[in-house]
A and B are shown apart, each in its own frame.
Chain A
Amino acid sequence: MFDAVLAGLPLFLTVQTVVLVALGVAFGLVVGALPGLGPLMGMILVLPFAIGQPPIAAIGLLTAIFVAGSCGGSVSAILLGIPGTPLAAATLFDGYPMAQAGRGADAIGIAISASALGGLFGGAVLIVATPMLAEFAGGFTAPEYTALAITGLVTVAVISEGSLVKGLLAGCFGLLIATIGTDQFSTGFRFTFGSYHLLDGFHIVAIVVGLFAIPEMVWQVMRPSLDDKVALPPVRVGLRAVGLTLLHWANLLRSSALGAFFGAIPGASGVASSFVAYAAAKALAKPDERYGEGAEGGVVATEASNNATVGGTFVPTLALGIPGDAGAAVLLGALIILGVFPGPALFANSPEIVGGIFLVYLLANALLLVLGILMTPLFAYVLCIRGSNLIPIVLLLCAVGAFALQASIFDLWAMLGFGLVGILFKAARYPLAPVVIGVILGPLLENNYRRSLLISRDGHWIFWDRPISATLLVIDALLIVGVILYGIRQARRRARCTEVA
């Protein structure tokens, strides 16, 4: 594998490649930060330009947007309470409270540092353990994906703030939304009400922007401080942020490893990995860390995980030719246009291309740390803008982002509709993140469950016949039992306290 890295050096060490990677990082941070855009949109926007460049420079540009865009979403999550991308949804839990407590610069610095370090960890995993991870993930079939999706849904119960029941209900609402569209198995239309716009369901970006951005903006409008100009001390992010991040080294390593693992499994998204990493960090945290109220560890966990996922995503994309997510699919399409065919043969026939891709990935993460920290004052400046000026700009960007995905007015209405749903959920104190998890995992769960039963010759026994799916399902069952027992214990404790009082 290191031979491939050496072989890729001549392709990598060109001014064009380095400049395009740097531009990609800057552009990725901006599109990631802007709610409704994100890395996928950024990659799609530059794709026509990228395919005119030499292969490694082109992939460097797209990879840099992928990497930096995955981090950029944290900036708006921290400063505005709106995840710029679904990847940053979990960053909101502690990043936003940190910003509210006047530690926005620290939160951004930690997010950037954790992203870069998590990304570099993902890169190391990518280079050192690609064959092993590829072999492991490559063996997953429908029963394993079913069990994996259930694991993701069970984490909803763990991550939900407040009522577990409300969290599960919100997750089920997400699952129901995911059923809208064309049924993959019968090719029949479900809940489309005769509208062709719904033939493929709602676009995930319209859902996420609507659910998170609109209610947040409405809440901000209702605040008495709408016209107040926020006075912030000068934002200086330096090596201190790296130091703060490294204080959570165990969390950083664990979350990065989880991210790389999730990324290597096609279909398992960075969103799920960040929620799982957050749940793990929260479960293992000391009582005084106060997760959900501005814990540094929460930001470290989610950002390290979702950026390490990018590295992991490259494993099935390069080793198997199977894109792990939509962003990887864009990369895969670009590679094919450039005459590079991902798959096991690529490692044998074109090690210099594989090595070049590894190197641009590592450079993108290194530059993310440098450029991210340098550009933090620019991001922090957003907080200095009056709410009455910022809110229309944010809403305009949300609208542009939702519209630009498919040039569809319907997506705008969908965004507004989900905005209304988000307002109702927020007013009733229902968590919003489980809705998104349900929407993302719904098709993965339903299709693989039904596919498993079609493949099986013994009905549901297929899930127990396969060791990985059986293990995951046992873990899920233990988690559910554990959560229920924990809930009963908490309820009894509260009842006892009430009696004493």
Chain B
Amino acid sequence: MLIRALATTAVAWGLSASMATADYPERTIENIFPWTQGAAMAASQIVAKAMSEELGETITIVSTPGAGGTKSFITAMGRPADGYTLIDGWVAPLVLQPVLGNADWSHEDFKPLHAAHSVPFSIGMRAGDDRFEGIEELMAYCAENPGELRYSTDARNNLPHMVTARVLQAYECVAQNIPYGTDGDAIKDLKAGVLDFAYVNPRAYIQEPDAFDIVLVLSDDPGAAATYGGAPTFVDLDIDLGISGLAPMGWTWWLVHPDTPDAETETLRQAMGTTMAREDVREQLRGIGFNPLSYGPEQYDDVVGPVRAQLESMRNAIAWEEERMGGL
């Protein structure tokens, strides 16, 4: 009797568990996003909305900014690993902050879904600023007049700052980095003549292409150059930064907690794979200056691993800048 009861219970348990998996998802899924509202969140909304249609349940974007994006990862990893929490795995909290020693995880500590989109960076001057003809003249002046020029990459210690500092290091250019907290404030000051040059993202450029003179696209991808009206890339100018592919760009790869059950992970992977293959989704992303990516979970280690290695090689660029500025 006891054995029959236990067997019945076990079967019922197993059935309910399998039904629970079969029913997944049955409530709203949350994507923990590392930044405040802005263009990047708009891009994630596009993917989330289309993926919601594939899953039949809503995916909401939960903005959890703080500490270079690491707060969002800590928040997501503190949630149950049940497939109802996604991590918007932007490169800064996923790779850059661990490289800088500000986080104790590596990309291998997460289960990947699909890569979502990338965003190429550029260095621009104010349109009509005729003091310098291109990046070479700008850098030459900067090298001759250390500490005189002001530039911004929005926040400090973010990926645009690291890549830009690497460019400046390559030219022996020492300039004052001015941090800004809100997306767009630095661009406003660039246009007002307060800054000499600044990091320009595709959204800012698409909004007002005539407001900028893009002197360098921080990518080796010709598609990225097209985003900025055909401005020169560091490959065109033969600048050796020791970086390539996704390393100098912003990008996000959606992730889940490593303990997330395989069945739920597979459901999410299928939905996101279908989503990222949809031409309407890709077109919407392109429309706001983001490049849709096509990497699947099986390519995660092969793509992210080299990015980490390349960012490791650039980690001293910001320290070099601080040291030189401190010595002035």
Contacts and interface: CB of A to CB of B under 8 A. Distances in A.
Interface of A: 47-48, 51-52, 138-139, 141-142, 181-182, 184-187, 189, 196, 199-200, 266-267, 320-323, 326, 329-330, 332-334, 336-337, 339, 341-346, 406-408, 443, 447, 451, 454-455
B87 to A, nearest CB: 14
Given A200-B67, A341-B203, A406-B64, A451 B179 contact: yes
The 6 closest A-B pairs by CB, nearest first: A200-B66, A343-B207, A199-B66, A199-B67, A329-B37, A336-B42
Contacts of B176: 454
Contact of A406 (B46, B62, B180): B62
A65 B121 CA distance: 35
A455 B176 CA distance: 8
Given A189-B67, A322-B184, A341-B206, A330 B37 contact: yes
Interface in B124-182: 150, 155-157, 176, 178-182
A185 B208 contact: no
Contacts of A408: 75
B66 A182 contact: yes
A336 B288 contact: yes
Contacts of A182: 66-68
Contact of B42 (A185, A267, A337, A344): A337
B189 A199 contact: no
Given A48-B60, A336-B203, A451-B179, A141 B37 contact: no
A139 B191 CA distance: 9
B276 to A, nearest CB: 17
A92 B230 CA distance: 56
Nearest to A330: B37
B157 A51 contact: no
B58 interface: yes
Contact of A184 (B30, B102, B179, B189): B179
A454 B180 CA distance: 12
Contact of B208 (A332, A345, A455): A345
Contacts of A48: 45, 49, 52, 58, 60
Contacts of A330: 37
Contacts of B62: 406-407
A343 B205 CA distance: 11
Contacts, number: 122
B323 interface: no
Contacts of A321: 184, 204, 207-208
Interface in B60-116: 60, 62, 64-68, 70-71, 74-75, 102
B188 interface: yes
A412 to B, nearest CB: 15
Contacts of B42: 333-334, 336-337
B293 to A, nearest CB: 19
Given A51-B49, A321-B184, A455-B178, A187 B207 contact: no
A345 B67 CA distance: 34
Contacts of A451: 178-180
Contacts of B39: 333, 336
Contact of B207 (A47, A266, A339, A341): A341
Sorting the interface of chain B by its residue count into under 10, 10 to 19, 20 to 34 or 35 or more gives 35 or more
Contacts of A339: 284, 287-288
5 contacts: A321-B184, A334-B42, A342-B207, A451-B180, A455-B150
A329 B206 contact: no
A330 B284 CA distance: 18
B10 interface: no
Interface in B192-221: 192, 194, 203-204, 206-208, 211
B157 A187 contact: yes
Contacts of A200: 65-67, 71
Contacts of B155: 184, 187
Contact of A343 (B37, B65, B179, B208): B208
B185 interface: yes
Contact of A332 (B38, B49, B192): B38
B157 to A, nearest CB: 5
Given A187-B157, A199-B66, A345 B178 contact: no
Contacts of A185: 156, 179
B180 A181 contact: no
Nearest to B207: A343
B37 A344 contact: no
A407 B30 contact: yes
B36 interface: yes
B236 to A, nearest CB: 27
Nearest to B66: A200
A138 B150 CA distance: 19
Interface in B226-268: none
A184 to B, nearest CB: 5
A130 B106 CA distance: 49
A199 B184 contact: no
Nearest to A52: B49
Contact of B194 (A141, A196, A267, A443): A141
B192 A141 contact: yes
Given A187-B156, A343-B207, 16 more contacts: A48-B60, A142-B194, A181-B66, A184-B179, A196-B67, A321-B208, A329-B36, A333-B38, A333-B42, A336-B288, A337-B45, A337-B288, A339-B287, A341-B288, A344-B208, A455-B194
Nearest to B45: A337
A320 B188 contact: yes
Contacts of A322: 182, 184-185, 188
A332 B45 contact: no
Given A196-B71, A200-B65, A337-B46, A320 B37 contact: no
Contact of B45 (A323, A329, A333, A344): A333
Contacts of A51: 45, 49
B194 to A, nearest CB: 5
A267 B185 CA distance: 10
A197 to B, nearest CB: 8
A337 B41 CA distance: 9
Contacts of B49: 48, 51-52
A334 B30 CA distance: 18
